[in-house]
């Protein structure tokens, strides 16, 4: 299930992130990759423990908190601190699957299971060529290149890549979520059901028996499938 979410960040927030990142120190992205991924990864990243990364990460976490569609899609239990990467001309990230377990920085070895991957675009797509995020899932191959401030959410189990940049530079934030519902199929079912409930509520009052029945079924399924 691949879901695009519009305007997670406002234009003003995107501009703020860009100004901060332009002044940041960038490092080889392979420093944070696993053994296999490091062979396929050619990009730059802002160090996770830097002040810029922490401050902008907090801004994005606040934005996620006001984005109901992200909650519906990811059903997040925990969210890994957002990170920031950059692909200049000639850079790419060949096909890979994200590590299943991430150690959360700044904690005493706390671990997070990466169920859902998210990429938040910070660059106008007209300013660069290439750089598409290409995700393979059971429904085929999807190339994603979104406006600055928009985000894509997809299962971390998906094989994916970032196409080579042939002009310009592509900047983004990326992070993972441990979901309340580990299974991709069950999570997708709950998302579709939630969207259906939202649609029904637009034409029926909240206390209509059909709305109440659908909402009850959604929460009872979430209760049954949730890991907490």
Digit-by-digit pLDDT tens for the chain (228 residues) are 899 999 999 999 999 999 999 999 999 987 766 666 667 889 999 999 999 999 999 999 999 999 999 999 999 999 999 999 999 999 999 999 999 999 998 888 899 999 999 999 999 999 999 999 999 987 789 999 999 999 999 999 999 999 999 999 999 999 999 999 999 999 999 999 999 999 999 999 989 999 999 999 999 999 999 998
pTM (2 decimals)? 0.93
Buried/exposed code over 106-126 (b: 16+ C-beta within 10 A; e: otherwise): eeeeeebbbbbbbbbbbbebe
Structure tokens at 18: 């860009």
Domain 3-179: give its CATH superfamily. Answer: q2cbj1_9rhob like domain (2.60.120.620)
Is 90:170 a contact under the CB 8 Å cutoff?
Answer: no
Which tokens in the block code for residue 225? 């499938």
Binding site as annotated, residues for 2-oxoglutarate: 170
pLDDT at residue 105, rounded to an integer:
87
Look up tokens 């189990």; give the residue: 157
Please report, in range form, the residues annotated as the binding site: 96, 98, 160, 170
Q: Measured between alpha carbons, how far is 25 from 212 in angstroms, rounded to an integer?
A: 52
End-to-end CA distance of the chain: 23
Q: Are 55 and 13 in contact (CB under 8 A)?
A: no
Q: Report domain 184-225's class.
A: few secondary structures
The two tokens of residue 199 are 């649609």
Q: Which residues contact 43 (CB under 8 A, 6 or more apart)?
A: 29, 85, 86, 87, 91, 92, 93, 162
Distance from C-alpha of 98 to C-alpha of 85, rounded to nearest angstrom: 15
Q: Which residues are annotated binding-site positions for Fe cation?
A: 96, 98, 160
Tokens of 140: 């085929």
**How big is the chain, counted in residues?**
228
Domain boundaries, the chain: 3-179, 184-225
DSSP letter string, 139-188: TEEEEE---TT-EEEEETTSEEEEPPEEES-EEEEEEEEEESS--HHHHH
Whether 191 and 127 have beta carbons less than 8 Å apart is answered as no
């Amino acid at each position: 299930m691949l879901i695009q979410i519009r305007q997670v960040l406002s234009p003003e927030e995107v501009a703020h992130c860009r100004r901060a990142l332009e002044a940041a120190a960038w490092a080889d992205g392979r420093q944070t990759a696993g053994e296999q991924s490091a062979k396929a990864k050619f990009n730059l990243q802002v160090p996770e423990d830097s002040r810029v990364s922490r401050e902008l990460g907090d801004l994005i976490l606040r934005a996620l908190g006001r984005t109901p569609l992200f909650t519906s899609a990811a059903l997040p239990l925990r969210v890994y601190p957002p990170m920031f990467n950059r692909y200049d001309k000639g850079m790419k990230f060949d096909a890979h699957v994200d590590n299943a377990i991430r150690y959360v920085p700044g904690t005493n070895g706390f671990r997070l299971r990466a169920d859902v991957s998210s990429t938040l675009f910070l660059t106008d797509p007209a300013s660069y060529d290439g750089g598409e995020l290409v995700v393979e899932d059971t429904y085929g191959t999807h190339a994603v290149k979104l406006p600055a401030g928009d985000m894509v959410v997809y299962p971390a189990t998906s094989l994916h890549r970032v196409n080579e940049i042939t002009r310009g530079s592509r900047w983004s934030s990326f992070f993972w979520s441990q979901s309340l519902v580990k299974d991709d199929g069950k999570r997708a079912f709950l998302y579709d059901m939630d969207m259906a409930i939202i649609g029904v509520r637009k034409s029926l009052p909240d206390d209509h028996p059909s709305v109440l029945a659908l909402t009850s079924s959604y929460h009872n399924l979430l209760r049954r499938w949730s890991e907490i």
